[in-house]
Amino acid sequence: MFASGVVALLLLAATLSPAQTVHIDVEHAEPPNAPEPSEAVPPPPHPPEHPMTGHERVNWAVRGTVGPLSLGVVGIFSAAVGTAENSPKEYGGSWAGFGKRYGMRLTGVATSNAIEASMGVMWGEDPRYFRDPSLPFGGRVKRVIRMTFFDYRADGQVIPAYARFIAIPGSNFLSNTWRADSEATTQDALLRTVYGFASTMGKNAFLEFWPDAKRKVFHRKP
């Protein structure tokens, strides 16, 4: 299961950036020149400083799959809930079942990220989330929600996240081919698709607000 996700990432690396070594940048770049806050509709996100390179696409896909947020918080929580509920029942409620659920989720995430990063090239989409602390709280929440379904382009335009609309449902239906029978149905795939977009929204919220929360908790200056 996990091998298929790894293969997908390797194929992405070979296609987009064959001559580069992936360097995972754990810090999230924050674009300069923030626009004036708006209490109504938040302004479109800052355009990237340059078109997203193949190296950056691979970095985004790898970090989104095996980064600390994916492997630690989300991965462990998801596998723990599934084990506690014994869902799917084929895996059982043991530590072995926890490992199977953890690996199954990781495989699906790897496949989804690889599809989104590679197909996004066709529309010039930049799937990275750029926070904007200059907005009021309500505007930042609107941005978190909006950028779950939209992406930047290199020219600064904000367009529907076409690659994400393909990647999340596509990876969930594709994973039916290797999932346990009790969760390999169309209904299950559709439900996982909803969870996939909800997870993207949660990740955006974490990237938007965690730096502020961390400064308050650890009393760090901006």
CB-side exposure of 201: number of CA atoms within 13 Å? 12
Quick check: is 87 in a domain? yes
Quick check: is 46 in a domain? no
Residue ranges making up the domain that contains 72: 55-218
Tokens of 179: 């999932």
Quick check: is 107 in a domain? yes
Instruction: List the chain pLDDT tens, one digit each, 222 residues.
Output: 444 444 444 445 444 443 343 344 434 444 444 444 444 445 455 556 678 889 999 999 999 998 888 887 788 888 889 899 888 899 998 899 899 999 999 999 999 999 999 999 999 999 999 999 999 999 999 999 999 999 998 888 899 999 999 999 999 999 999 999 999 999 999 999 999 999 999 999 999 999 998 888 876 655
Quick check: is 17 in a domain? no
The pLDDT of residue 154 is 81
What's the total number of domains in the chain? 1
The pLDDT of residue 46 is 57
Quick check: is 188 in a domain? yes
The pLDDT of residue 156 is 82
CA 190 to chain centroid: 18
The pLDDT of residue 77 is 85
- Classify burial at 109, counting beta carbons within 10 Å of its beta carbon; exposed 0-12, middle 13-18, buried 19 or more: buried
User: DSSP letters along 162-173, please?
Assistant: HHHHHHHHHHHH
CB-side exposure of 26: number of CA atoms within 13 Å? 5
Quick check: is 35 in a domain? no
Quick check: is 97 in a domain? yes
Quick check: is 47 in a domain? no
